[in-house]
Amino acid sequence: MQVQVPDGGAESSSSDAVPLLITDLSAIPAEPADDILFRHKAGLIKSARLVWEHREIIHSLAERDFRAQYKQTALGFLWAVLTPVATLLVLVLVFSRIHSIHTQGVPYALYAFVGILCWSFFATALAQGGTSLLNNKALLSKTQFPRECFPLESMVVNGVNTTFSVVPLALLFVFFGRAPTIATLWVPLFVLIEIVFATGVTLGVAGLIIQARDLTMVLPLVISLGIFLTPVIWPFTLIPTHFHVAGGHLVTGGHLVRGVAEGHHWIGGIYVNLQVVYGFINPIGPVISSVRETMLLGHAPSWPPLIAAAVGSILYLIFGYKLFKRFEVEFADIA
Amino acid sequence: MPTLPDGSIRAEHVWKKFRADKTTPELRSHLLRLRNSRSEGNRRQYRWVLKDINLDIEPGGTVGLIGSNGSGKTTLLQILSQVTYQTAGARTVQGRIGALLSVTSGLHPELSGRENVFLFGAVLGMSRAHVRKSFDEIVEFAELEDAIERQVKHYSSGMTVRLGFSIAAHLEPDILIVDEALSVGDSNFQQKCLGRIDKIVRSGTTLLFVSHDLAQVETTCERAAWLSDGVMRASGSTKDVLAVYRAAIQKEAGTMASKEGTVSVLKAEIEATDGGPLRTGCEFDVRLVLDAPKTENVRFLIGISIGTSFPIFVVDRQSTMPAGVFEIHCRLADLPLPRGHYSVWAGITGFPEGRRDPLLAWQPLTSFDATGPERIRPPQGIMVRTPIVVGATWQVG
């Protein structure tokens, strides 16, 4: 039906004459038979293991971006620290006069900076990682290592840059004469939740953006809106924990019920902890809130929303990775 | 399926389709499709770029992939090296692949040569330890000892290519896949690259090699496969496949009829007088079959160029052109060209020329590969513009 396969191609390795095979063009069907269609099978665990084997590439690509970022600048790597410090100065100037937001005695600049730090890690991961496949087009169609390396690499760069923001955070503590409490030891857990969430969303967007290029336009909008929808400059506790749902109507028993402490009236029906719902949808909310509760206030984190955030972020990761793997087949062709 | 030994490549009934190029934005074309017809419009537009490709390479084999631009060679290499995926069929590749699909795409212009060695090495699949070990060798091979700390954006294009290739050349894969990477750099460096590839192949590495330089394929590969319009037209020993390929190319070029001018070309051929391959110093014949509307006094011109640039030399003849179909046979005593790929050009002007349009516009009609010695490199900084005198005898009619 098609090209005659060289008889015993494996045996003809010696100097035997290789037969000349001419294809009979008329014997080639118009379309391949259904039973030989290629199905891309890529289990998430197996793929993740493959990525781990290629971690050196992530390292090299991240190093590339990090070095290239500061090449030919007079101050070089110093900028990695200077940029967040400069951003901080602007924030302090803007926020030092705000007293109307309830921060439980924490200086507002410090309060807001923690939120901004958590948010900007996510926002940058999304902005850079989401478009990383497009930005690495040239490599995408010429190299064969796992495609996950590109978004992950940009997350690593972003992570390193964010780490440098610890310097201005420390400056702020010194400036206000405070110290992080012992409960700060919880923070790595929150960071982990955020990383899992950011990785999931970034992978999903990175894969999807190749198919739907319009996302490149939508992404900046989402990011600039997101900062207001996330408790970055307002406290997470503004979201009610006992939201009353009855008869298909949303009835707020005394408007927003602020925490259990203020007391509320049982009017029948179902109460929903909106903080948990929010945390599930946007895990960054509880993450920011928990960092504030522990590092700044010395409390234990509020567990229900945090657990929702942890579960949510794992689901984001699984779903995002699945999405990425699904579209992977076409990356090199249409990127 | 039994496991193949390391270094094997096998493609069985491989098909690949690409979406047709989109000219309208997605949403609009979706809406249009809805409006037009639901039944036939549901299917996306696509075209097949590879059709039913079968290829079997045993460990240590060297295969050259030839074919014109757009025939699917690069796509096949991409599928075999798993840069992209086939639409149908099976691909089995056993062993570590070194895919050299582009020598410069992995280089970052802002980084220094040294930094790029590590970056590109990693991208190609070398471990950092391996790069560190072969670093000096890589730099020496690229002849960039003095420039290695400089940013790559300040490199000349030749230096960039040398850096890229020499990193890739220090891979130690079971299978080396090379896509036209050698058609770059000056001929001295090309020679060095070929030498390096030869060395890699001798160490038992499987080689799959794409090139337009048929002479290069001939010297490097034992076997060849010819791809045309996504179909594997022929495969076998390099000598046999090249013969089939050349014959087909000449046939195609011959049927290329010109639209400009008043004389049309029915056939254009070039061959060595003794029937052997075109080679340096051989006597050769150019044969044109033309169709002219009326008898006229004209000047015939035939020239040879590298690629489609300006001709290296031109021969001419004033004569009376007969009406109707006629043949021109021009025998040239000596092919004064080194190994390479050349085009044959022809044109006809009225005589005396006056201000008239040419009767046949100056155009390339066919191309050929010449075998023979390498071009001689002049001392650095000297450009060669050799004037060539070629003896010629003509027959018109």
Contact B122 A332 (CB under 8 A): no
Residues near B223 by Cβ (< 8 Å), separated by ≥ 6? A18, B57, B61, B62, B63, B64, B235, B236, B237, B238, B241
Beta strands in A148-290 (DSSP E): 243-246, 249-250, 270-272
Q: pLDDT tens for residues B224-250? A: 999 988 899 999 998 888 888 877 776
**What pLDDT is attached to residue A14?**
40
Mean pLDDT score of chain A: 83
**What pLDDT is attached to residue B369?**
85
CA-to-CA distance for A37 and A3, rounded, in angstroms? 18
Mean pLDDT of the B79-88 span? 89
Question: Which of A283-287, B85-89, B290-294 is least confident?
Answer: B290-294
Contact A5 B61 (CB under 8 A): no
Q: pLDDT tens for residues A310-330? A: 999 999 999 999 999 998 888
Confidence class of residue A207 from pLDDT cuts 50, 70 and 90? very high
Single out the residue of A31, A198, A50, A230 nearest to residue A127, CA to CA.
A198
CA-to-CA distance for B30 and B246, rounded, in angstroms? 45
Mean pLDDT of the A131-160 span? 90
Half-sphere exposure of B136 (CA within 13 A, CB side): 1
Does an H or E element contain B187, and which?
helix B187-202
First to last CA, chain A: 35
**Which residues share a beta bridge with A221?**
none
Q: pLDDT tens for residues A68-114? A: 888 888 888 888 888 888 887 887 787 777 767 777 888 888 888 88
Confidence class of residue A160 from pLDDT cuts 50, 70 and 90? very high
Question: Tokens at residue B134, please?
Answer: 């072969």
User: Which residue did the predictor score with more confidence, B330 or B308?
Assistant: B330
Beta strands in A97-171 (DSSP E): none
Q: Does A13 touch chain B if contact means CB atoms closer than 8 Å?
A: yes
Contact A67 B115 (CB under 8 A): yes
**What pLDDT is attached to residue B256?**
52
Question: Tokens at residue A130, please?
Answer: 């989401």
Question: Which of A124-138, A148-162, B97-111 is least confident?
Answer: B97-111
Single out the residue of B214, B216, B280, B283 nearest to residue B250, CA to CA.
B214
Question: Tokens at residue B131, please?
Answer: 């790069």
- pLDDT at position A172 over 80: yes
Q: pLDDT tens for residues A212-236? A: 888 899 999 999 899 889 998 888 8
Single out the residue of B225, B200, B113 nearest to residue B160, CA to CA.
B113
Architecture of domain B258-396: Distorted Sandwich (2.70)
For residue B211, count other CB atoms closer than 10 A to its CB. 21
Does an H or E element contain B163, and which?
helix B157-169
Among A69, A333, A334, most B C-beta atoms within 10 A, so best to mutate, is A333
Number of H helices, E strands in chain B: 9, 17
Query: Distance, in angstroms, between B306 CA and closest chain A CA?
Result: 29
**What pLDDT is attached to residue B4?**
78
ipTM over the 0.95 cut-off: no
Query: Distance, in angstroms, between A27 CA and closest chain B CA?
Result: 10
- pLDDT at position B35 over 70: no
Residues near A80 by Cβ (< 8 Å), separated by ≥ 6? A70, A160, A161, A164
Confidence class of residue B258 from pLDDT cuts 50, 70 and 90? very low
**What pLDDT is attached to residue B184?**
61
Single out the residue of B307, B280, B302, B278 nearest to residue B290, CA to CA.
B302
CA-to-CA distance for B119 and B109, rounded, in angstroms? 12
Q: Does A138 touch chain B if contact means CB atoms closer than 8 Å?
A: yes
**What pLDDT is attached to residue B189?**
79
User: Which residue did the predictor score with more confidence, B318 or B250?
Assistant: B318
Which residues belong to CATH 2.70.50.60 in chain B?
258-396
**CA angle (A305, A306, A310) in 5-degree steps:** 120
Q: Which amino acid is at B122?
A: A
Residues near B36 by Cβ (< 8 Å), separated by ≥ 6? none
Query: What percentage of chain B has pLDDT greater than the value 90?
Result: 18
Mean pLDDT of the B184-197 span? 76
- A chain contacts of residue B122, beta-carbon cutoff 8 Å: 56-57, 59-61
Q: Which amino acid is at B182?
A: L
CA-to-CA distance for B391 and B55, rounded, in angstroms? 46
Q: For residue B373, with 0-12 CB atoms within 10 Å meaning exposed, 13-18 middle and 19 or more buried, which class applies?
A: exposed
Q: pLDDT tens for residues B376-396? A: 665 555 555 555 656 678 888
Confidence class of residue B2 from pLDDT cuts 50, 70 and 90? low
Q: Are A234 and A103 in contact (CB under 8 A)?
A: no
Chain A 42-61, residues with CB within 8 Å of chain B CB atoms? 56-57, 59-61
Q: For residue B37, with 0-12 CB atoms within 10 Å meaning exposed, 13-18 middle and 19 or more buried, which class applies?
A: exposed
Number of H helices, E strands in chain A: 15, 4
Single out the residue of A149, A193, A162, A186 nearest to residue A324, CA to CA.
A149
Mean pLDDT score of chain B: 81
Max intra-chain CA distance, chain B: 75
- A chain contacts of residue B83, beta-carbon cutoff 8 Å: 140-144, 332
CA-to-CA distance for A135 and A251, rounded, in angstroms? 48
Residue positions counted in chain A: 335
- pLDDT at position B36 over 90: no
- A chain contacts of residue B48, beta-carbon cutoff 8 Å: 31
Q: pLDDT tens for residues A247-293? A: 444 444 444 444 443 444 445 556 778 888 899 999 999 999 999 99
DSSP H stretches of helix in B3-58 = 26-36, 38-41
- pLDDT at position B320 over 60: yes
**B9-246: what CATH class?**
alpha beta
- A chain contacts of residue B121, beta-carbon cutoff 8 Å: 60
Query: Distance, in angstroms, between B153 CA and closest chain A CA?
Result: 12
Among B49, B80, B83, most A C-beta atoms within 10 A, so best to mutate, is B83
- A chain contacts of residue B85, beta-carbon cutoff 8 Å: 38, 40, 329
For residue B393, count other CB atoms closer than 10 A to its CB. 10
**What pLDDT is attached to residue A1?**
40
Which residues belong to CATH 3.40.50.300 in chain B?
9-246
Contact A56 B83 (CB under 8 A): no
Question: Which of A28-32, A118-122, A170-174, B387-391 is least confident?
Answer: B387-391
Question: Tokens at residue B128, please?
Answer: 């950092």
CB nearest to A20's CB, from B106, B122, B236: B236
Query: Distance, in angstroms, between B268 CA and closest chain A CA?
Result: 25
**What pLDDT is attached to residue B390?**
61
Question: Tokens at residue B144, please?
Answer: 């960039």
Confidence class of residue A157 from pLDDT cuts 50, 70 and 90? very high
What's this model's pTM, rounded to 2 decimal places?
A: 0.75
For residue A210, count other CB atoms closer than 10 A to its CB. 22
Phi, psi of B114 (to 5 degrees): -60, -45
Cα dist from A81 to A88, A286, A305, whole Å:
11, 27, 33
DSSP helix/strand/coil, B353: coil
First to last CA, chain B: 64
